[in-house]
Structure 1
Amino acid sequence: MATTQLQPMTLPAPADAESWLDAKAAEGLAAAGDIATRLKTTEQLSALEALELWNDMSLATSDVAALASTFSEMHPIEAVRDRGEQAIQDISKFWTELSLDAEMYAVFERLSADGVDEQADRLLEKILLDFRRSGVDKDDTTRARLQEISERMVKVGQEFAKNTRDDVRSIQLTAQQFDGLPQDWIDTHDAAADGRITVTTDYPDLIPFMTFGRDAAARRELRIASLNRGWPVNDPLLQELFALRREYAGIVGYDTWADYNAETKMIGTGPAIAEFIDKIAAAAAESGERDRAVLIERMRQDRPDAETIDGADVPYYSELVRKESFDVDAQQVRTYFDFAKVRAGLLEVTGQLFGLTYRPADDAVVWHEDVTAYDVYDRDSDERIGRIYLDLHPRDGKFKHAAQFTMASGITDRQLPEGTLACNFGRGLMEHSDVVTLFHEFGHLVHHIVAGRTPWQRFSGVATEWDFVEAPSQMLEEWAWDADVLRTFATNADGEPIPAELVEKMRRADDFGKGYDARTQMFYASMSYDFHVREVPDLTERTRELQTKYSLFPYIEGTHMPASFGHLDGYSSGYYTYMWSLVIAKDMFSAFDPENLLEPGVARRYRDAVLAPGGTKDAADLVEDFLGRPYSFEAFAAWLDR
């Protein structure tokens, strides 16, 4: 069947989603179970035959798990979210049992890769490594414990995420405490009968208030509320999760969970994570301390006795410095970023760069009225190559951050790649930082779709090493800072495009604070690493210690940030990934012409060399294919020193 004939899946109406997902999960697990039996009972399977069966088994469960994950985080009906979580548990249990099945391991261990192509050989190597990392060679009692740990880790992680997702906190303010906020933002906040106005910890409230609100006490109250989401209920869950990971890593032969987790990443080893964190912290120290001193000096104009500054005041005074010292008024900037125009511009810009066309998918069934769907076509061939869903506004029970979710893996001549972008933006004017976030997250979606033409599910989509996956998205952020790009969609109410001079000022202003931002990222990375390499009796106290060591801003008393730090589940010990990827992103961007970022030549070559291969090569090889040399630290260091 030709690729052009492939059809996207048909999703259920919201009211039918629970039963539909239930049937999908049962069907997928039954099919996978049948294939597993065939693998173990069919004699004299060739390597290619065994790998194709394994691929079918992976596909039978992976797409169900992907849909279950999407629905568990985004579906408006709680019962559907719960059913999604159950499906994930069931599929995870199936794969845990399979990974500990010595009979299945023997099937693949005795295979010869002679006669198979490079991708099939790579897949066989990955399968065998997964078996060894699972503890398949242990005795029955030990394997039973590993299965118990694996299943419990899934459940604890889901409970942690649900608590974070559902814990939206708020503060009550008077109209006088809205001084400094944009008028369009104020207009969306009506007073209750008692005259009080609610401000929540959801991003469309939190970010503008922390950036523009002049009431320092209100800012601090909101910051504390945000940092305490998920606490205290998530604290014991995190402790259990870290303990389970430590036990698992020890059983399968690793010194720490960080060593276990890093083995399949670009970085290679756990200790290398700690070295990288310290390297970035040292490189960012001088510029970070210089810019922090500027913040404190500006703060002293309002509070002469101020000795330091913390997270309750940093966004506000960073904005003031950018406005007063760099002549960039974020409230003026946001008038050029109407949400609808930004979304349309994003599609046009990425379409031009990567040779894509997005057409509204009028036949798509969506899970909420806010969701929009597009079919993605290759501009050269006009072939439909995937479908995307955009779920970009906050609502109760929905995922609270910004991320791309897979819905279907693209498999050559079998099925189209499909994915969802989940964000939490307001419906009117956007902060430029939100525009950057939208470009970043959409980069993951483009990667997923473009890399959806491979015969092997294991390598489809964003399937590179996990500490590389952020690099393509971080590089795409650069297009949200280019004047020529922005002028194609960033216009004010009068239709006037954003001035190039203003964009240049924005770029200079954005350089302010990058040192202390890098130090903050290393604080987060140090928590992610430290909590997984040692037993930490008091997470809050250890957070305070790590913040003192790495961040240039002090701990805020009475807060418990790890309780809502979702990356402690998904990235576990690997939050360093964001900065590691940024180093590579800056190097890849050096290949583009900064005077003409809309010229598609280099972008198409980048698409073909880095994005389209998915996980068929190691990330370092993908980058070298594109740059013509190994990646280096130099471009990042130059950017940090600029």
Structure 2
Amino acid sequence: MTCDPLALPSSAADWPAWFRARTASELARATELVDALRSAPPADPVAVLRQWDRAAGHLGNAAAAGSLFGNVHPLDEVRDLADAAEQEAQRIGTAWGLDRELYDVFATIDDGAVAHDPLAARVLAKVRNDFRRSGVDKDEATRTRIAEIHERLTELDQEFSRVIRDDVRTVRVTPEQLAGMPDDWLAAHPVDAEGMVTVTTDYPDSVPVRMFARDQDVRRQVTVAFLDRGWPTTEPLLTELFALRHELATTVGYADWPSYDADVKMIGRSNPVAEEARNEPSRSIPAFIERIVAAAEEPMRRDLAQLLERYRRDFPDATEVPGYDYNHYAELVRAERYDVDSQRVRAYFDFAKVRTGLLEVTGRLFGLRYEQVDVPVWHEDVTSYDVFATQPVVEVRGAPAPSLETRIGRIHLDLHPREGKYKHAAQFTLTDGVAGEQLPEGVLVCNFSRGLMEHDHVVTLFHEFGHLLHHVLGGHGAWYRFAGVATEWDFVEAPSQMLEEWAWHADVLRTFATDAAGEPIPGDLVAAMRAADDYGKGIYARTQMFYAAMSYWFHADRVHGADAPDLTSRMVELQRRYAALPYLPGTHMFASFGHLGGYSSGYYTYMWSLVIAKDMWSAFDEADPFAPEVAQRYRDRVLVPGGAADAADLVADFLGRPFSFDAYAAWLDR
């Protein structure tokens, strides 16, 4: 049985009514299925679990639509409807988790009655754990308070995201102050009637200016504006968010929010990377941070020594490089020491060619074909593709494998900035996929230039597309619970980080990276780019650990009722302890650190996943990154199963051994 993609409205005027109808029907169906479970559950325990799973799938459809369109739709009315729908889906899900009568339906299932179906048994174990973590065993007053906390947390998270999304700051400068900027960037930023040029804090403006502008004051102004987005508005939102998370975690029996959050993560189990994880899983987070900090110490010192040596040619008395000068002088180090001029590199990465190349590379790698389709979408910038399998896919656990040339998903690429749109880069779900019931649809939301791209942005595009592939390839099992990227949350970045490797491979890049004359990027330039990219790894790792420590300690500081420190003071303290670069006085970077919303105390995830990604990449032959045997094994054993097994088991199945820290350590010290 094949499934059709979701049909979106064909005109802007139809969007509000369509969105109301879509979310109302999904929420109604979810409620109907759960009400029936309470009143007359099926006699077959597996059927009980399937009905619950389908209800969760319908609830997820409403929540996904709310999350996506609240971040990308150009109409304020639709964004407001989306926020409300996401809140309602969260409210319903919270109510389910606190419903003792509903819990009894699952508590009374005999484990032996589902033992013949391993995936059903896995669902049952996870559902029972969900109820335990929700606080279903608490008294009525406590459960009422838990519901209030969940509702407020959703509101705070949405408001935090909205403020960051809408707070675009600007710096006005003279044309002369933009010396050093690429010609195509200057052409896209004409002088206004007052003889000035406006630079925004959106990535296509702020990243190139901080890298290329020769005027230090311009770099400083743009950096300060970028770091101060959201402040002071988001500070009280975050303070309340952290306090409520702590209250929720302690109410349901955990020491603090990081313990609650880590309990269902990879890091919450014993493994080769965080052996400290035993009875107190959250303690393995600072232990992992310290392990990376120690491994990055010497590489960071080498990076900083090269950076300061170059900086002192212009500022002889300097003892450190300020943050607003880092990107510019790191670029000079790469250009002078490694002979890599980023403006020359940009000439090979025209956006349209990169997008086409991305599809060709991933299609060849994973046995896929993308067919562009002309369908209604929410904005004219969005391009949509149907995805087809051209190579056999192994049987998905619990469901038959898709046949060749069957449409296995639809993807939407929303890749350029606009007012009111999400400001970072992420993959959003439109629909989760279940075999025979619903086609997986995913959306890539980024903010790239329409012309030439920095290579870093090319890498980001490959990274985010890795999430999209995971969503589509993992969307053909038998359970919504395990669809797509439904693995432990600290693993979801690993497949996308590994796909970045193809954006660094000379033979891969030469298939689509060509200049205006059609000449492919030279192999020696790519080699120099890779050598230059090795510069700064230590600084990068330490910066990431500063972010990870901030996300952890902002939540962990509330243990034993202690008053949480002022967020700015705590951020400055943690930056001094962990980061490679100094604090820029007067700035409040945490105020726009969107990962404090979705990732909460778990920003360590990015580096944790990178450790695993480097280990998985070691299974590939760099001389032949498209070798079909290993690529198909990776696709079928890591991506296709979705969350049908623990991530550590999926990786071990692919590698033939448990994952380790060794490949990452070797890469960091290279």
The answer to whether residue 111 in structure 2 is matched with residue 83 in structure 1 is: no
The answer to whether residue 243 in structure 2 is matched with residue 248 in structure 1 is: no
Measure the CA separation in 2 of the matches of 1:14 and 1:585: 41
Q: CA offset at residue 596 of structure 1?
A: 1.0
What is the aligned counterpart of 2:433 among 410, 413, 418?
410
Q: Bigger shift: 563-572 or 536-545?
A: 536-545
Code of the aligned partner of 1:70: L
Tell me which residue corresponds to 2:39.
41
Measure the CA separation in 1 of the matches of 2:340 and 2:41: 71
Code of the aligned partner of 2:210: M
1:558-585 CA deviation, whole Å, 9 max, x = no partner? 1011110000000000000000000000
Q: CA offset at residue 600 of structure 1?
A: 2.5
The answer to whether residue 334 in structure 2 is matched with residue 322 in structure 1 is: yes
Q: CA offset at residue 44 of structure 1?
A: 6.1
Secondary structure of the 1:341 match is helix
The answer to whether residue 461 in structure 2 is matched with residue 464 in structure 1 is: no
* TM-score between the two structures when normalised by the length of structure 2: 0.94
Q: Bigger shift: 26-35 or 170-179?
A: 26-35
Counterparts of 1:29-428 in structure 2, within 5 Å, are 29-42=27-40, 45-116=43-114, 117-268=117-268, 269-362=281-374, 364-380=375-391, 381-428=404-451
How many pairs were matched up? 638
1:145-174 CA deviation, whole Å, 9 max, x = no partner? 000001100000000000000000010000
What is the aligned counterpart of 1:437 among 460, 468, 483?
460
Measure the CA separation in 2 of the matches of 1:435 and 1:349: 13
Tell me which residue corresponds to 1:526.
549
Secondary structure of the 2:192 match is coil
Q: CA offset at residue 115 of structure 1?
A: 4.3
Secondary structure of the 2:332 match is helix
Tell me which residue corresponds to 2:583.
555
Tell me which residue corresponds to 1:502.
525
1:255-274 CA deviation, whole Å, 9 max, x = no partner? 11000000000000111001
Measure the CA separation in 1 of the matches of 2:239 and 2:4: 45
The answer to whether residue 616 in structure 2 is matched with residue 618 in structure 1 is: no
Q: CA offset at residue 402 of structure 1?
A: 0.2
Code of the aligned partner of 1:636: Y
- 8 Å CA contact 2:23–2:61 kept in 1: the answer is no
- 8 Å CA contact 1:46–1:111 kept in 2: the answer is no
Measure the CA separation in 2 of the matches of 1:436 and 1:616: 29
The answer to whether residue 667 in structure 2 is matched with residue 639 in structure 1 is: yes
Measure the CA separation in 1 of the matches of 2:41 and 2:193: 76
Q: Give me the identity figure in percent.
A: 57
**Runs of 4+ in structure 1 displaced over 2 angstroms?**
43-46, 113-116, 598-601
Unpaired runs of 5+ residues, structure 1, are: none
Secondary structure of the 2:314 match is coil
Tell me which residue corresponds to 1:581.
609
Q: CA offset at residue 556 of structure 1?
A: 0.3
Measure the CA separation in 1 of the matches of 2:241 and 2:653: 39
Measure the CA separation in 2 of the matches of 1:462 and 1:537: 35
1:188-228 CA deviation, whole Å, 9 max, x = no partner? 10111110110000000011111111111110110000000
- 8 Å CA contact 1:358–1:374 kept in 2: the answer is yes
- 8 Å CA contact 2:38–2:102 kept in 1: the answer is yes
Q: CA offset at residue 37 of structure 1?
A: 1.3
Distance 1:467 1:43, change over 3 A: closer
Tell me which residue corresponds to 2:620.
592
Q: CA offset at residue 43 of structure 1?
A: 5.3
- 8 Å CA contact 1:356–1:378 kept in 2: the answer is yes
Measure the CA separation in 2 of the matches of 1:19 and 1:31: 18
Measure the CA separation in 1 of the matches of 2:236 and 2:41: 49
* TM-score between the two structures when normalised by the length of structure 1: 0.99
- 8 Å CA contact 1:199–1:205 kept in 2: the answer is yes
Code of the aligned partner of 2:476: R
Two-structure CA RMSD over aligned residues (Å): 0.9
- 8 Å CA contact 1:352–1:600 kept in 2: the answer is no
Measure the CA separation in 2 of the matches of 1:550 and 1:389: 38
Q: CA offset at residue 412 of structure 1?
A: 0.7
Measure the CA separation in 2 of the matches of 1:264 and 1:151: 22
1:326-374 CA deviation, whole Å, 9 max, x = no partner? 0111100010000000000000000000000000112x21100000000
1:484-505 CA deviation, whole Å, 9 max, x = no partner? 0000000000000000011001
Unpaired runs of 5+ residues, structure 2, are: 269-280, 392-403, 559-563
- 8 Å CA contact 2:53–2:480 kept in 1: the answer is yes
